Structure formats: C-alpha cells, structure tokens
Amino acid sequence: MAKKMWAGRFEKATDKDVNDYNSSLRFDCRMYRQDIRGSIAHSAMLASRGIISQKDADDIRTGLLSIEADIESGKLTFDSDAEDIHMFIEEELTNRIGDAGKRLHTGRSRNDQVALDQRLYLIDESKEIVEGLDKLILTLKEMALSNLTTFMPGYTHLQRAQPITYAHYLSAYIEMFRRDKARLEQAASRADISPLGSGALAGTTYDLDREAVASSLNMGGVTLNSLDGVADRDFAIEFVSAISIFMTHLSRMSEEIILYSSQEFKFYELDDAYSTGSSMMPQKKNPDVAELTRGKTGRVYGDLVALLVMMKGLPLTYNKDMQEVQEALFDAIDTIKGVLPSFTGMMSTMTIRKDKMESAALEGFTNATDLADYLVKKGLPFRETHAISGKLVHYCIENNTSLEKLPLETLKEFSPAFEDDVFDAISLKTCVEGRSLIGGPAPETVKRYLESI
C-alpha cells in the first residue's frame, strides 16, 4: 500500500480493511472532472498571488489535463488504494510532474476541496436533468395541443366528477413540471458558490484570492463563513429534495398511466416498445416503465431521508459521516436521469383512446353540476338545484340512463323550470367550453395557456 500523504504522525500503516472501509474512490471517482477543474483554478490563483511559481502552476495544469485525458481514454483507471478521488489525482499528479504536484494543495484542505467538487458536480448534473425535463414538458405540450377538445372525466376520490379535456389534464402536469424545473435551477444556483479558501475549517493565512477562483470556475460567488463552507451540505439536501418533489409528480402521473392503460379504463394503449410481456401469461402487456418510476420515487425519498438523518446530529465542522452524502446525492441524480428518457418516450409513443375518454365522461354524470347551475340561472337557489340534480342522477341510475337522454317531460316532473335549452346546457361541449376562466378547461383557455409557456 502506498504511503498516505498524512502518514507523518503515524507509526503504523492503515489496516487493509480500514483502508477499504474508509475509501470513497469507488464512488467519488465520478467527480474527477470537477476535482481537476477546481485544482487548476486554485493553482492558477496561487501563482497569481506569488504563492507558487508560474512554472509550477503551468506544470500542474498540464499534468492535471493529461490525467483527465488519460481517465477519459481509459488509459488511467481507478484501481488504486487511494483514499479518495482527491488523493488519487494528487498522487498521480506528483508521479507525473514531481515536486510541483506537491505544491498544489497549498492553502487548501480536502474539506473545502470536496465541498467544491460536490457543488460543481451538482451544477453540471442539474443542467442535464433540466434538459431532460424540458423535453418532457415539450412532449406533454405537443400532446396537449393535439387534444384540446378531447373530453375526459376529471376525478375526485377517483370517482368521475366533472368533464375536462385531456389537454387540461396534461397541462396540470406541465405546471407541476415547470415548478420542478424552477426548483432544480434555484437549488443549483444556490449551490453555485465556492467554498475554496475555507481550508480545513478556519480559513488559511495565505493571501488567497477567493473571488478570482470562484469567477474562473464561473461560480456566482464565495461562501462567507469558513466553518459553514466545509460543514454545509444543505445544497445537496435541497437538490435531492427538488428531485424528490419532481419524482412525486412523475409517480402520480405513473399511477394514472398504470390505471388508464388497464382494461378497466382503456384510455391509453402503451406502445409495444415501452411495455413488457409476461413470461407465463401470453395476453399481458405491462406498464413497467410507469411502475418502475413509481417504485424509484421511494428510492429517491430514501436518499433524501438518508441525507437529512446523516446531517442532523453532526457537530461543526467536517465529519467523515459526510462522505456518505455523496452516495445519496449521486443515487438521486442517477435515478432521475435514468427515469426521464423512458418516461418521456412512453408518453410520446402511447395511443390515446379519445373515444374511451369521451364515453367515460358521458357515462359518469359528470354534467350533474352543470344541470344544477342551469337551474340556478333560471332563478332557483343552488342548494335546491343541487338536490334536484341529485334526485335526477338517482332516477337515471334506477332507469339505466343519463341526464342528457331524459325527455323534457321527465325533467319537468323534477322541476318546472327546465326548458328546451337544458340539453345544450348540459352537453359535454358546453360544460367544458363554459369554464373559460383563467386555469379552466375550455379549449380556447388551455390553448392560450399552452401558447404562453
């Protein structure tokens, strides 16, 4: 085993099991680009402040870039007993460029270094996640625009409630996903400050130019307290919490995809490429993508809870427990990145059974509220008209018919206020078109909304 960089005060080498147990290289190796970027910025600043020579900074930069290229080409692998990615790269650098490599860590600790790497990694990944989210929103928007007049029942308690359109339904999720996007971007922008210069916890006596490092990394600023700079992980908690809320929305939609593609609903027919069969039952076509999304939501919540619990009892500042933060953060990021392409593909390829949606809207007395409202417009009080409409629904159930199929004479038996115009008033089209206030399901309103986003 190579001698540890911190071995000066130790008489014995680290136990082999402890070394493996302690090592984070197998998971933090994914931050090699961010680690190298941070080190190049730090060493350039050290040279500009005269703390190391320009020649050393140049050698460090060249060495680090060659390490990056070799990792990328597969020439350099992570099979090392190094403690973490930071040690791995620094050791490799020193092997390549000699003493200059040993000057890189001047005025820096792994505590501020790892906090920086995690922030940079989170910001890089947030861009990819938001890109995937944008594609999903665009897919739903296109689907909505071609279903402005596709009627379906809206539900409460999973009971048919009032008629809406499929475009209106999809727009509800578009709104949720737009908020998710804003949350992810805001969390990433709050993470976008550099902790370098916090040192191990108490800053450093070197005259570092913290702002220059931050701006060369394109970061929005610097952390303002050195203890907080190394001890804080709420940027990770906030980001995973934004991913969790996003997953909640994907999971609710998944639950509906599972229901709507069942034989009981038949609103959706999933594309063959986005569903799976059964090894035993030949007729089966299963919504695995939606089910996995629902399942993985639990997994991401697990990551969030792990982060919260991990951090809640830690005294300031750095504690090794915090190494575990990375695995939860990475898992949440990997999970959401894994979900998005399949989920969006499933949505864009499935067949929408407009006929089934519309007949479900027609069959469920979803126009009963409009019938009551019709009588209100004829001058009756709503509480009374609500009761009349309820009685009519009961009558229809007994006689196996629907409100709009009742003859006017029958309607008049329940209230003399009914007139010929009732049939138009309770048609699906009128029910939906009449709800044209902001946020309502009227096709024109939904179209205007979709064009505005």
Per CB under 6 A, the segment of 66-74, 106-114, 171-179, 232-240 that binds ligand ARG is 106-114
Instruction: Report the nearest approach of ligand ARG to the CB of residue 27 (Å).
Output: 9
Per CB under 6 A, the segment of 65-73, 316-324, 357-365, 417-425 that binds ligand ARG is 316-324
| Separation of alpha carbons 170 and 72, rounded Å | 41
24 contacts ligand ARG (rule: CB under 6 A): yes
Instruction: Report the nearest approach of ligand ARG to the CB of residue 159 (Å).
Output: 51
Instruction: Report the nearest approach of ligand ARG to the CB of residue 63 (Å).
Output: 21
How many CA atoms, within 13 angstroms, populate the side-chain half-sphere of residue 401?
A: 11
* Closer by beta carbon to ligand ARG, 118 or else 335: 118
- Helical segments of 261-322, H only: 288-312
Instruction: Report the nearest approach of ligand ARG to the CB of residue 110 (Å).
Output: 4
Tokens in use for 388?
A: 């009349």
Instruction: Report the nearest approach of ligand ARG to the CB of residue 116 (Å).
Output: 11
Place of tokens 């203890």: 227
Which residues ranging from 321 to 360 are in contact with ligand ARG (CB under 6 A)? 322-323, 326
For residue 415, which of 374, 355, 369, 356 has the smallest C-alpha distance?
Answer: 374
| CA–centroid distance for 190 within its chain | 16
Q: In 200-210, which positions are buried (b, 16+ CB within 10 angstroms) versus exposed (e)?
A: ebebbeeebbb
* Closer by beta carbon to ligand ARG, 139 or else 226: 226
122 contacts ligand ARG (rule: CB under 6 A): no
* Closer by beta carbon to ligand ARG, 114 or else 450: 114
Per CB under 6 A, the segment of 13-21, 317-325, 396-404, 436-444 that binds ligand ARG is 317-325
| Separation of alpha carbons 286 and 274, rounded Å | 9
Q: Could you confirm whether 157 is annotated as catalytic?
A: yes
Place of tokens 């989210």: 133
110 contacts ligand ARG (rule: CB under 6 A): yes
Candidates 32, 318, 330, 418: give the one binding ligand ARG (CB under 6 A). Answer: 318
Dump the DSSP string for 171-215.
HHHHHHHHHHHHHHHHHHHHH-EE-TT-TTTT--SS---HHHHHH
Instruction: Report the nearest approach of ligand ARG to the CB of residue 329 (Å).
Output: 11
Distances (CA, A) of 438 to 144, 156, 167, 386, 446: 17, 21, 15, 25, 9
Q: Which DSSP letter does residue 286 get?
A: B
Which residues ranging from 157 to 196 are in contact with ligand ARG (CB under 6 A)? none
The answer for 147, left when phi > 0, alpha when psi is -120 to 50, beta otherwise, is alpha
* Closer by beta carbon to ligand ARG, 5 or else 393: 5
Candidates 43, 111, 149, 162: give the one binding ligand ARG (CB under 6 A). Answer: 111
| Separation of alpha carbons 325 and 283, rounded Å | 45
* Closer by beta carbon to ligand ARG, 21 or else 281: 21
Per CB under 6 A, the segment of 66-74, 109-117, 254-262, 334-342 that binds ligand ARG is 109-117
Q: Give the angle 37-40-43 at the CA atoms, nearest 5°.
A: 145
The answer for 408, left when phi > 0, alpha when psi is -120 to 50, beta otherwise, is alpha
Residue tagged active-site, from 73, 157, 279, 452: 157
- Residue 111 near residue 53, CB atoms below 8 Å: no
Per CB under 6 A, the segment of 108-116, 169-177, 369-377, 379-387 that binds ligand ARG is 108-116
Residue tagged active-site, from 53, 189, 262, 278: 278
Q: Which DSSP letter does residue 407 get?
A: -
Which residues ranging from 405 to 444 are in contact with ligand ARG (CB under 6 A)? none
- Map residues 50-89 to x or -, x wherever contact with ligand ARG holds by CB under 6 A: ----------------------------------x-----
Sign of CA dihedral 69, 71, 73, 76: positive
Candidates 51, 52, 114, 122: give the one binding ligand ARG (CB under 6 A). Answer: 114
The residues annotated with a catalytic role in the active site are 157, 278
User: Which residues are near ligand ARG by CB under 6 A?
Assistant: 24, 28, 84, 110-111, 114, 318, 320, 322-323, 326
